[in-house]
A and B are shown apart, each in its own frame.
Chain A
Amino acid sequence: MCNSVLFVVCVELLRFILTRSHSRGPFSLPLFTQRVALYQGPNTSTAKIRLRTRLVVTLLFGGGLLGTWWYVRNEKQQNHRMQRIEQLKKVALGQGDFSLLDHRGHRRTKRDFLGSWVLLYFGFTHCPDICPDELDKISAVVSALDKDRSLPAVQPLFVTVDPERDDVAALERYVKEFHPRLIGLTGTPEEVKVAGKDYRVYASPGPKDEDGDYIVDHTILIYLVNPDGLFLDYYNRMKDDVQIAESVRNHMKSYVKLSE
């Protein structure tokens, strides 16, 4: 509605500026008949100059109005994004700390990842199809964002919900088949539970079959965490890598603006 009001105001102002003449009232003659009258008079050149000035003034004014509209629109979009971030902050996921082992056997805590943008996914290596799909998706997002040199590098993380089977060696075998920067994280069942609880991740191992194999039912979400360690956004199975990359890019741009 705001846009249409602005548009109408623009049109009226343009009409006002273009149809104004010295002798008559403001809205008397349309431009066409005015031009005909001008050509008939002796002082045509000054009249033409006056027309040119009017056109220049109109263009500058129109440009100014367009600029204002653009600025207002951007402000509105920014406000909308800030509101969403505030809402997600209230949900307050990922406020705690975690202490896990990465796929090379090094201890890592949440602090180690501060200063980086993180894409976090919880899954398990015996997963039939969903986890490989989601990790491929994350790899594609990270690769796409890497191409843009103006953006900071994103750190993808894979935390297991199956610490019984996914030890350091298992994770090492698993993560090397995805993006080279992907870090796998595991630990004792307690440590893993703490990390999962922090992001309200649901995980439930299913019944074991004769081989001792089982499938873990779990939350399928990719979490975006900013360099301050704050949870900012999440992406479900419906979002493809292009949409996620776009969303991360927008978050990164808003983040820079905030800290200025």
Chain B
Amino acid sequence: MSAPNSNQRKACWGARDELWKCLDDNQDNASSCEKFQKEFEASCPAQWVKHFTKRRDFLKYKDKMQTEGFEPADGPKESRS
């Protein structure tokens, strides 16, 4: 399987951007954006779909940390001895 060429890359990025725009407009409600999801999966190699999905999750997580702040998990409880 040869690597995507420049046009295929741009088609994939375009489909990804459409999907992400839809998700942004629908508060990440995946069911509202099924059409774009299918288009995205058709335009991009499977590895890239995984890669971009992970990237979006990371970006959302980063946003959440920056807006809502970070709460460190509770440390280990004091052991009773």
Residues of A near any B CB (own CB < 8 A): 125-126, 128-129, 132, 165, 170, 173-174, 177, 209-215
Contacts and interface: CB of A to CB of B under 8 A. Distances in A.
Interface in B1-19: 1-6, 9, 12-13
A209 B1 CA distance: 13
A126 B6 contact: no
B61 interface: no
Contacts of A126: 3-4, 45, 47
A209 B50 contact: yes
A210 B13 contact: no
Contacts of B9: 129, 132
Contacts of A212: 1
A113 to B, nearest CB: 25
B3 A174 contact: yes
Given A126-B3, A213-B46, 9 more contacts: A126-B47, A128-B52, A129-B9, A132-B6, A173-B5, A177-B5, A209-B50, A213-B45, A213-B47
A211 B1 CA distance: 8
Prevailing SS type, chain A contact patch: loop
Nearest to B6: A177
Contacts of A209: 46-47, 50
Nearest to B13: A129
B48 interface: yes
A170 B1 CA distance: 10
A87 to B, nearest CB: 32
13 contacts: A125-B3, A126-B3, A126-B4, A126-B47, A128-B12, A129-B9, A129-B13, A129-B52, A177-B6, A212-B1, A213-B45, A215-B47, A215-B51
Contacts of B12: 128
Contacts of B50: 209
Given A128-B52, A129-B13, A132-B9, A173 B47 contact: no
Contacts of B6: 132, 177
